[in-house]
Amino acid sequence: MICFFDNLLTVNILSIEKSPHIDWFIWLKDFIAFGLVSMAAYQFALFFQKKFKFPLITGIILLGIVAGNSLLHFLPEETISHLNFIIELSLAIIAFSAGAELHINELRSRIKSIRRMTIAQLFVTFILSSVFIYYISDYIPFMQQLDKVSRLAIAILFGTVFVARSPSSAVAIINEIRARGPFTKTVMGVTVLKDVLVIVLFSITFAYARAVIQGAETDFVFYVFLILGILLSVILGLIFGILIQWVLRTHWIKSVKIILLLILAYGIYFVTHYLESYSYRIFNHAFEMEPLLSAITASFYVVNYTSYRQDFEDFLEEILPFILVLFFTLTGASLSLQTLQSVMGLAVLFFVIRIITLIIANAIGVFWVRDPKRYLWVGWMPYVTQAGVAIGLATLVGNTFPEWGKEFETVVIAMIILNQLVGPPLFKFALNFVHESHKKPRVFLKDKGKRAYIFSYDNVSANLAKSLQKKGWDVSIITSQNISRKDLPVIQVEEYSPLFLKKINWKPADAFVLLHPEDRINYRIAEWLYENLGPKMTVATVHTAKYMEPMKKLGAITIEPMSAMVNMLEHTVRSPQAMEIILGDDGHTDATDVEIRNPDLAGLHIRDLKLPHDIIILSLKRKNNTVFTHGYTRLRLGDILTIVGSKESLEKVVNKFESY
């Protein structure tokens, strides 16, 4: 199909080759061909992931290599050069994603450990790997003919890439095995912080490498412009962060916002190139700006200092998968299969070097932080996996230095493929080793073993009993009717009086539900329960006002059926989406109570919580008192939130709130 479409477009273009708009047709042909290859690469990679547990990113890159100039020639070098803007757009979105993971307020309880471990991981890995690569540069083919200064520049570029990690992979593994605890929190904080700092480090090392390799002087003026370039990159990021905030604040339709945010992402590169060119014309020296640093600053500003964090993260969650498919496909297509084969031995060596530096850095960090000694054995394992940021840095080097950059990029990507294969299993092993993995879902198993007694029998009580049974409850219906059901346990009494109620073989129960149509009988039952069993919770329907207060004095939760129906309909009319989530009966939504045990969340406003978009907070109970919540309500340890949402989102929220 791709060959046919490619040939068809080629014929059409050749037939109008004299047209003054020929470049637009060539660009359109290249873009459509690339789109088809990307879709095919994603589908094949998805198949290998499901069938053989093969990493998705690795599969896309390898399919890109097959489709590129090495084998099938679907994406020749000319096509790749026409699509360079996709690389810049993708790198900006990847930087957005890295910055969006850094939430200052949620790292407070382990900030000392995170800071020290980050310093150890960052500098030890960078320095050791750079020194080692410099001293073996005589055995690296594309470095052999270079002078010592250029070799040092390439070595520190390798050292910078070695530091990079993959926050998205870490989050996926933590969510998969429901990990929580101090080790997990430190790993997540270090991973995110390292990916932010590695951009700053890359800005410095990349500017230095460009200067020394391209023959520029690294004098005092160079370092002045380097510092000014970094400062300007941060300022530019803050400006774009404000622009992103403005877009998210508008009431435009979602598709328009996405388009504008993509334009802003690419605009960071556009403005950076313009400022570098303008500064060179004015000062005869360009500011060494780094658009990745600007992008990560913009993202950091939006998620930490505006009220649009959730909107921005929703945008990233929606657009990032598509961007990564395009980026990794294009990255793979730009690589040479022959070069990949020739550098595989070097990639294995660099993989081993990186593992050794991670082990040493972890040992220094563990002793410095005074973490448990068992962390010495597994503390380095979570940092093996690499993905988007590392590949992005390697791609920038490959595009900037055509003489040897592609070999550099290919070695790094081959190493990342090895990291993708080895890293996730090591991370899971480490989490199991420190006993912070929780493989069994807790959200919905917490209902299992609970018991409820429902008084009276009709369609409502029967349906309620079935619904509770699906959630794992042990339910019994108590009725004076002569009822026999195989699917529901029924306890028959002659009448609802103390004489017959005390004859029931009561078991400890979590809830008593009184659904008799007569308020007098419901009150009699509630009174007997209050005096004899002291129930945890009693829920009763009340049809007349005179029984409302007496029931409440007995501690019962009262429901007036007609008013409840009217209120439900009113809220459905006023807020249909919220009520659809609350009342949804499609099996995908549920409700649960969750206790705030995570010390990082204590003191946070509700509006600052990173919650999935389909989660609704219904109520907050604090010391048995219901608190009316709003965006500025501060959470405290021990607060119990009642939340509603999809089962997948509820599991994430419970794991986040109850972790400690």
Alpha-carbon span 204 to 61, nearest angstrom: 28
Q: Which pLDDT value is given to residue 57?
A: 75
Torsion-angle region of 200 (φ positive above 0: left; ψ -120 to 50: alpha; else: beta): alpha
- For 55-102, how does the pLDDT look when each residue is reduced to its tens digit (9 = 90+)? 777 777 778 888 776 677 777 777 777 777 888 888 888 888 878 877
CATH assignment at residue 453: 3.40.50.720
Are residue 420 and residue 296 in the same domain, yes or no? yes
Q: Which two tokens stand for residue 543?
A: 């049809």
* 109 within a domain of the structure (yes/no): yes
21: confidence class by pLDDT, cuts 50, 70, 90:
very low
pLDDT for res 5: 38
Using DSSP's 3-state secondary structure scheme, residue 644 falls into strand
pLDDT beyond 70 at 442: no
Least confident interval from 288-302, 485-499, 535-549, 622-636: 622-636
Asked if residue 17 has pLDDT above 50, the reply is: no
The pLDDT-based confidence of 220 (bands split at 50, 70, 90) is confident
452, 453, 456, 460: CA torsion to nearest 10: 10
Mean pLDDT lowest among 258-262, 286-290, 427-431, 526-530 = 286-290
Same domain flag for 409 and 473: no
Judge whether residue 12 has pLDDT over 50.
no
The pLDDT, as a whole number, for residue 24 is 63
439: pLDDT strictly greater than 90: no
Same domain, 643 and 539: no
Residue 534 and residue 581 in one domain: no
On average, the pLDDT of the chain sits at 80
**Bridge partners of residue 468, in order along the sequence:** none
- The answer on 331 and 470 residing in a single domain is no
Q: Is the pLDDT of residue 257 over 70?
A: yes
Instruction: Kindly state whether residue 567 falls inside one of the protein's structural domains.
Output: no
166 shares a domain with 240: yes
Q: Is residue 651 domain-resident?
A: yes
Do residue 551 and residue 601 come from a single domain? Answer: no
d(CA 14, CA 634) in angstroms, rounded, equals 67
Residue 401 lies in a domain: yes
Question: 187 and 275 share a domain?
Answer: yes
Higher-scoring residue by pLDDT: 293, 617: 293
Contacts 24+ apart (CB under 8 A), 545-554: 546/519, 547/519, 547/520, 547/522, 547/523, 550/523, 551/522, 551/523, 551/526, 554/523, 554/526, 554/527, 554/530
Say yes or no: 199 and 334 in one domain. yes
Q: Read off the CATH number of the domain in which 410 is found.
A: 1.20.1530.20
| C-alpha pair distances (Å), 454 with each of 24, 100, 363, 468, 535 | 72, 48, 59, 11, 13
pTM, two decimal places: 0.68
Q: How confident is the model at residue 26 (pLDDT cuts 50, 70, 90)?
A: low
Residue 439 is assigned to a structural domain of this protein: no
Q: Is residue 643 part of a domain?
A: yes
| Nearest alpha carbon to residue 492 among 502, 481, 476, 507 | 481
CATH number at residue 578: 3.30.70.1450
Same domain, 373 and 465: no
Mean pLDDT within 484-489: 82
DSSP-assigned states of every residue in 225-290: HHHHHHHHHHHHHHHHHHHHHHHHHS---HHHHHHHHHHHHHHHHHHHHHHHHHHHHHHSS-----
Q: Is residue 565 part of a domain?
A: no
510 belongs to a structural domain: yes
Q: Which residues form the domain of 648?
A: 573-658
Q: Is 560's pLDDT higher than 80?
A: yes
Which of the listed residues 374, 403, 433 is the one where a domain comes to its end? 433
Number of domain units in the chain: 3
Among 499, 524, 559, identify where a domain stops: 559
Last residue of a domain, one of 396, 411, 433: 433
Residues 453 and 498 in one domain: yes
Instruction: Identify which has the larger pLDDT, 614 or 428.
Output: 428
Note whether 623 and 650 are same-domain residues.
yes
Sheet strands (E) in 335-483:
451-455, 474-479
Candidates 392, 260, 270; CA nearest to 315 is: 260
Between strands 511-514 and 538-541, the pairing is: parallel
Give the amino acid at 127: I
> Is 60 exceeded by the pLDDT of residue 482?
yes
Write out pLDDT tens, residues 168-212. 777 777 766 767 778 887 888 888 788 778 888 888 888 888 888
Q: Specify the 3-state DSSP secondary structure of 161.
A: helix
